[in-house]
Structure formats: structure tokens, C-alpha cells
Amino acid sequence: MTVTYTITVLLDVNSMQDVDDRAESRSYIIADHDSGRAIIIDAILDNVERDITILKELNLNLMYALETHIHADHITGASLIKDRTGARIIYGGGAEGTVTGVDAFLADGQELHFGKTVLRALATPGHTAGCTSYLLPGAVFTGDALFIRGNGRTDLQGGSSEHLFDSVRTKLFGCPDDTVVYPGHDYHGRISSTIGEEKRFNDRLNLSIDKPTFIAIMNKRRSPPPAQMDVAIPANMRAGRLPELASGR
């Protein structure tokens, strides 16, 4: 396998480090080696200036701002990044009809090309009804579907424990074992895992756990709603376009 890209991992350092809230969110810049064309996955509004600085330092041409789902814990930086760089906003096909201000939706299996690098969308509903993961040769960006040794909650925005189990087992665990997993959050200082590791060691989704057991585990979980949910979800249904930005103020 020839790797055509470089990944820059961007951590979210903020004052709201509460588990199952905005804690330790991850954004990713993926740059094509030869062309310098790049994408960003799950940008956060508060970090846009930092992200644009990094893009300039690395002399990258940002083509696309991708989102894995409609976030409840923070406002996406996708629209501000589009305003600043001209990048096109991309969501997974599961968000079509729900999110406005999007340039394109990637259906399950659909590809996105930037330079010689090819990314493929994997529909992975369960954390929300519209979640999508993004697969590169050798790497997968799982959003809140699959974490390192865990998974996202399933009690908000049309989430479903049954659907999440199926998404992980049929889509994500269908990737080669050496595929590197880059999650949407991590609460223990880790950057990545592999599909093979998660098959063995994931606390709730390892291969020894069946669907009824997983559903029972998730049904017992009780987590408070994200602190920014009432602001973040409406904004993210506009791809992060805030009312003052939309009105031109």
C-alpha cells in the first residue's frame, strides 16, 4: 500500500473538559503529499484561527471541510473555514435534508478525491442517525461512532444502540485489522488505535460481546446532556453558520 497523505492531529484544549461533553475533541488535517491539497475533518469554531495558521505554515490548499455528524457538544468551524479559505463543506449522506449550507453530501461508498488521495464515506449511524466515518487506505476517521476502547452515546439525535453495533461490526470492523483508528474524542490522552486492537480490547464492542449485551450496556448508561447542546445543534444544522454571520454582521 502506497501512502499518499500526511495526517496532522489537532487537539481541542478548552475549559470544558467533561467526559461525554466537549472533552478532548479531535480535528484532523489530511494533506495529499504531491499536490498540497488538503481536507479538515470536524473543525471546531473556537479553533479555526489555529487551524488556518497551521494550513498556512504547511503551505496547504484546503479543498474540503468534512463533518462526521451534527455535533451536540461544540459548534463546527466549517462555515467560517469556508469563508476564510473557500473550502467546500461536506457532510455524510445521512445528514442530507437536515443540514443546510452544505456544498455536497457523501453517500455510503462515495469517494472524494484530493490530489492522488482518495477518501471513501462509510455510513455509520448509531451515535446519531446521520453519522458518517471517512476511510483512507490505512486509516479511518470514526467521529463518535468508535472511540479508543469505547464508543459514543446513543441517546440523542436519533441515536440507536442497535444501529451503532451494526455500523461498527459490519462497516468499521470490516476494515483491515491494521487500519489506524482516529476517533472524534479521547478522554485518556491517546491519539489513535487500530481496528484489530478494537476488535480485541474495546470495552463494549470487542468481538466477544453480542448485540443484546451491547444494547443492555448502553441502556444502563446515564450521561447528562452536553452543556452546549441547545446552541450547538441548531448552529450545526446550518453547518456552523451563526445568525450574526448569516446576516452579514
Is position 177 within any domain?
Answer: yes
CATH of the domain at 213: 3.60.15.10
Taking only the tens of pLDDT, the chain with its 249 residues reads 789 999 999 998 765 544 445 557 999 999 999 999 999 999 999 999 999 999 999 999 999 999 999 999 999 999 999 999 999 999 999 999 999 999 999 999 999 999 999 999 999 999 999 999 999 999 999 999 999 999 999 999 999 999 999 999 999 999 999 999 999 999 888 999 999 999 999 999 999 999 999 999 999 998 888 888 999 999 999 999 987 655 444
- Give how many domains the chain has, as a whole number: 1
Is position 110 within any domain?
Answer: yes
**Distance between CA 61 and CA 36 in Å, rounded?**
6
Is position 205 within any domain?
Answer: yes
User: Which pTM was predicted?
Assistant: 0.94
Is position 182 within any domain?
Answer: yes
Is position 237 within any domain?
Answer: no
What sign for the dihedral angle of Cα 92, 64, 190, 20? negative
Q: What is the pLDDT of residue 242?
A: 86
**Distance between CA 66 and CA 41 in Å, rounded?**
5
Is position 247 within any domain?
Answer: no
Is position 129 within any domain?
Answer: yes
Provide the 8-state DSSP code for 206. Answer: S
Q: What is the pLDDT of residue 14?
A: 64
Give the domain extent around 159: 5-223
What sign for the dihedral angle of Cα 83, 9, 49, 143? positive
Is position 243 within any domain?
Answer: no
